[in-house]
């Protein structure tokens, strides 16, 4: 390598380093100059000039990680829109807001009932630092109170709420999990409507055991915890649930380890909606010797009871005019998206559709250990 | 040696995401996208077979040398320049799309030119190397990326949130529509890895046999169907049309719960950094060699230790063009440019196939211009 070549190499690298540091230096903010948002709440403030109330729960970093050691502060601002409220909130804190770790977004119940979630979603879907796998929920009585709760069990701020969803922490059969991308898909999809879990406060913890079924903007139906369980099993195939059969003197309870649910429609002009459910599990509670007397009979009885309950729920959902199971999408796929089939489905077929729930219960064992 | 040929086929199948092929196809998801797939598969496979069979008859010769065998210099030079424009512009479009994606998802606060500058400098350096070095770099990068990219694609394909009804709706509804031309052009891109043989045939030895060519339709079809249908399954038939960088958003719906980082998106973007670098390196290198072939001063060479200075000047020009392009365009214009490029590429590909068939015919008839020019095979 000649001296001249070497010199040009050195000059080039120096220019690169200087240029790079000049370009980079003014744009990156250090981590200690950022506030990590852990929970965001959207509420409806009854002020027509500033209808949106945004609540941010901001984590205060701490050097030690231990139960109850999580520190956070809550900030609130009202504004004509969510984006403006967030900008306004920046004026009340001393560090840059960072949404990259925020995985909980709470819509206040009043917001869902009065304004709907459509406008809020327009902001959520555009923020590139917000993860598509964020959990969305409805807050009761409002998002502010849910976001302000600081449970004692938290190891670091905000982790209590997101451990409640999916199968990351607790695996509750009553908790419906809706991700941001899923809500966005269901917001626009023909024949598939959204569902959101409802989070409320019980003493020092979150209670997430109900769900709301929505049309493309507002809530149409609030389910009870028992209905939520059935819905969660049949619409999302949630595992680790229970199937019960009323019985004297003690209810029979099947602890379900495996759930499969599949929808189908019969062919022809007047289709019947079929929901095939298969559950597997073992008995967690039962009067003695019930299973041994008639194993097949008990399976069939439990399946029949479950089917009847689910059918009641499906009719209730149908009458509310929503379709969270995606029967409509299935119908369109069956009809190859032919012209006019969507109008036919929503106007004539779905409001009067009959349901056929086929449950196949398979009991693996009596659950007895001695 | 045959593996180098298939590396090109593989990575072009994967890079389709960066030249906005899924975006173009998804825009026409209710039109003729699906029905143009069978045509694209047949056409792409046929082209791959023809070019590989034709180049086999000219071992060790790149396309510029073959032009010289059968054509006057001025026609050969015009064709070379068309090649330069086709290849170099592909690199520029990918570089811009890539730096934009990174700007959106990795580092929204940094200047868009910073991402572009880092990537362009890396591409500049990689593309100026000798053809042999480029080929080896290609092998190393691809072996690093491919398993993890396939893993991400399969993870998306088997995600429990994938809605098969949405996929079924688009597939069965779309196959009944008349095929659309732009979708056909876009879909054939997945199969056009064979185009890179035009330059890298210089490195192929005399006795090269193109075995395993049945893999081309299988691999191409897999990448085509996955990159079109998986976003539809995860974002629904309607909402999927709202995204420009649709695959970045699609990988964001996946989670690695026990991974080092939870968002698959970042792993995906890192891998596509490699793939984009690979693509730009290959395209700029090919463009550069085609340009050099226009001058007698630069005979085709594949193994230089010290690359000629002209390499740097050509690639530096391309880098400057990239910055000019980035300055004058935005996402919308880039989208249009990508579509125009996809169409142009198809016509260049067709012209190449016709020319190669013509050359083989002329060779059989003994119509070569200068026998002396024919050199020995690659190694």
CATH number at residue A252: 3.30.300.210
- Inter-chain residue contact A185 with B176, CB threshold 8 Å: no
- Inter-chain residue contact B252 with A133, CB threshold 8 Å: yes
pLDDT the model gives residue A273: 93
- Inter-chain residue contact B169 with A168, CB threshold 8 Å: no
pLDDT the model gives residue B376: 43
Residues A248 and A212 in one domain: no
Residues A74 and A156 in one domain: yes
Residues A36 and A117 in one domain: yes
Rounded (5°) CA angle A269-A273-A277 = 155
Of B160, B242, B255, the CB nearest to A133: B255
- Inter-chain residue contact A185 with B235, CB threshold 8 Å: yes
pLDDT-derived band at A19, boundaries 50, 70, 90: low
- Inter-chain residue contact A184 with B239, CB threshold 8 Å: yes
- Inter-chain residue contact B238 with A129, CB threshold 8 Å: no
- Inter-chain residue contact A185 with B168, CB threshold 8 Å: no
Residue B24, classified by CB atoms within 10 Å of its CB into exposed (0-12), middle (13-18) or buried (19+), is buried
* DSSP structure string for B162-227: --HHHHHHHHHHHTTSPP-HHHHHHHHGGGGGGGGHHHHGGG--TT-----TTHHHHHHHHHHHHH
ipTM, 2 decimals?
0.85
The better pLDDT of the pair A28, B63 is held by B63
CB of A237 within 8 Å of any CB in chain B? yes
| pLDDT, mean of residues A101-118 | 90
Residue B245 has pLDDT above 90, yes or no: no
In chain B the domains, ranked by start, together with CATH numbers, are 2-378 (1.10.4160)
- Inter-chain residue contact B165 with A326, CB threshold 8 Å: yes
Contacts of A129 in chain B (CB under 8 A): 108
Contacts of B169 in chain A (CB under 8 A): 329, 332-333, 336-337
Give the other-Cβ count within 10 Å of A149's Cβ: 19
Residues A172 and A272 in one domain: no
CB of A129 within 8 Å of any CB in chain B? yes
| Residue A20 CB contacts under 8 Å (≥ 6 apart), including other chains | B114, B118
Query: Cα A26 to the chain's mean position, in Å?
Result: 38
Residue B351 has pLDDT above 50, yes or no: yes
Residue A356 has pLDDT above 90, yes or no: yes
Of B108, B165, B238, the CB nearest to A129: B108
Mean pLDDT of chain A: 86
Of B118, B165, B242, the CB nearest to A333: B165
pLDDT the model gives residue B212: 87
Give the other-Cβ count within 10 Å of A344's Cβ: 14
| pLDDT, mean of residues B237-257 | 88
pLDDT the model gives residue A21: 58
CB of A203 within 8 Å of any CB in chain B? no
Of the ranges A120-134, A248-262, B30-44, which is most confident?
B30-44
- Asked if the structure places residue A5 within a domain, the reply is no
Question: For B20-41, what is each residue's pLDDT tens digit?
Answer: 899 999 999 998 899 999 999 9
Domain that holds residue A194: 30-222
- Asked if the structure places residue A304 within a domain, the reply is yes
pLDDT the model gives residue B167: 94
Question: For B272-325, what is each residue's pLDDT tens digit?
Answer: 889 999 999 999 999 999 999 998 888 888 888 888 889 999 999 999 999 999
Residues A216 and A247 in one domain: no
Residue A370 has pLDDT above 80, yes or no: no
The better pLDDT of the pair B370, B361 is held by B361
Residues A142 and A88 in one domain: yes
């Amino acid at each position: 390598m000649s001296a001249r070549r070497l010199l040009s190499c050195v000059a080039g690298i120096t220019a690169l380093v200087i240029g790079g540091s000049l370009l980079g230096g003014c744009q990156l903010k250090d981590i200690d100059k950022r506030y990590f948002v852990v929970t965001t709440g959207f509420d409806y403030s009854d002020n027509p000039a500033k209808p949106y109330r945004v609540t941010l729960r901001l984590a205060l970093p701490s050097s030690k990680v231990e139960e109850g050691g999580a520190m956070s502060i809550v900030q609130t601002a009202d504004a004509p829109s969510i984006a403006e409220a967030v900008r306004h909130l920046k004026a009340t804190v001393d560090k840059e807001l960072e949404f990259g770790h925020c995985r909980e977004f709470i819509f206040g119940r009043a917001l869902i009932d009065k304004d709907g979630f459509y406008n809020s979603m327009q902001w959520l879907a555009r923020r590139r630092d917000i993860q598509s796998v964020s959990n969305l929920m409805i807050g009761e009585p409002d998002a502010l109170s849910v976001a302000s709760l600081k449970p004692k069990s938290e190891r670091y701020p905000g982790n209590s709420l997101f451990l409640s969803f999916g199968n990351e922490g607790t695996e509750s059969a009553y908790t419906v999990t809706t991700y941001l991308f899923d809500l966005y898909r269901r917001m626009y999809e023909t024949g598939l409507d959204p569902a959101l879990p409802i989070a409320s406060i019980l003493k020092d913890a979150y209670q997430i055991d109900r769900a709301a079924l929505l049309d493309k903007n507002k809530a149409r139906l609030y389910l009870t915890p028992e209905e939520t369980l059935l819905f969660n099993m049949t619409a999302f195939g949630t595992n680790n649930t229970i199937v019960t059969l009323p019985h004297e003197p003690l209810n029979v309870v099947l602890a379900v380890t495996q759930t499969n649910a599949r929808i189908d429609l019969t062919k022809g002009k007047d289709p019947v909606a079929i929901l095939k459910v298969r559950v597997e599990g073992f008995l967690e509670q039962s009067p003695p010797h019930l299973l041994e007397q008639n194993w097949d009979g008990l399976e069939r009885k439990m399946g029949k009871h479950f089917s009847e309950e689910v059918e009641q729920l499906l009719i209730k959902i149908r009458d509310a005019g929503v379709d969270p199971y995606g029967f409509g999408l299935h119908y369109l796929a069956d009809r190859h998206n032919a012209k006019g089939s969507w109008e036919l489905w929503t106007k004539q077929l779905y409001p009067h559709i009959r349901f056929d729930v086929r449950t196949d219960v398979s009991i693996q064992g009596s659950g007895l250990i001695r | 040696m045959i593996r180098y040929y298939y590396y090109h086929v593989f990575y072009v199948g994967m890079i389709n995401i960066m030249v906005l092929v899924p975006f173009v196809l998804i825009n026409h998801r209710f039109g003729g996208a699906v029905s143009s797939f069978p045509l694209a598969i047949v056409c792409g496979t046929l082209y791959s077979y023809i070019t590989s069979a034709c180049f086999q008859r000219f071992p060790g010769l790149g396309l510029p040398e073959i032009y010289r065998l059968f054509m006057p210099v001025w026609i050969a030079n015009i064709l070379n320049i068309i090649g330069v424009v086709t290849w170099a512009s592909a690199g520029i479009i990918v570089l811009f799309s890539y730096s934009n994606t990174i700007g959106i998802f990795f580092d929204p606060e940094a200047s868009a030119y910073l991402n572009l500058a880092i990537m362009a400098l890396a591409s500049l350096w990689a593309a100026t190397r000798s053809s042999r070095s480029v080929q080896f770099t290609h092998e190393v990068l691809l072996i690093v990326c491919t398993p993890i990219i396939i893993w991400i694609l399969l993870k998306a394909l088997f995600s429990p949130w994938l809605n098969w009804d949405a996929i079924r709706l688009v597939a069965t509804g779309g196959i009944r529509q008349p095929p659309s031309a732009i979708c056909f052009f876009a879909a054939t891109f997945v199969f056009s890895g064979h185009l890179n043989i035009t330059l890298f045939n210089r490195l192929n030895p005399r006795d090269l046999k193109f075995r395993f060519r049945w893999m081309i339709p299988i691999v191409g079809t897999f990448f085509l169907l996955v990159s079109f249908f998986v976003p539809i399954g995860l974002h629904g038939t309607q909402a999927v049309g709202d995204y420009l960088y649709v695959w970045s958003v699609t990988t964001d719906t996946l989670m690695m719960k026990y991974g080092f980082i939870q968002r698959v998106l970042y792993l995906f973007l890192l891998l596509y950094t490699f793939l984009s670098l690979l693509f730009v390196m290959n395209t700029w290198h090919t463009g550069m060699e085609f340009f050099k072939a226009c001058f007698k001063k630069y005979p085709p060479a594949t193994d230089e230790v010290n690359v000629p200075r002209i390499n740097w000047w050509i690639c530096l020009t391309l880098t400057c063009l990239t910055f000019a392009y980035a300055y004058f365009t935005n996402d919308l214009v880039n989208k249009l440019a990508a579509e125009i490029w996809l169409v142009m590429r198809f016509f260049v590909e067709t012209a190449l196939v016709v020319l190669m068939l013509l050359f083989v015919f002329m060779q059989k008839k003994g119509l070569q211009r200068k026998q002396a020019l024919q050199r020995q095979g690659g190694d």
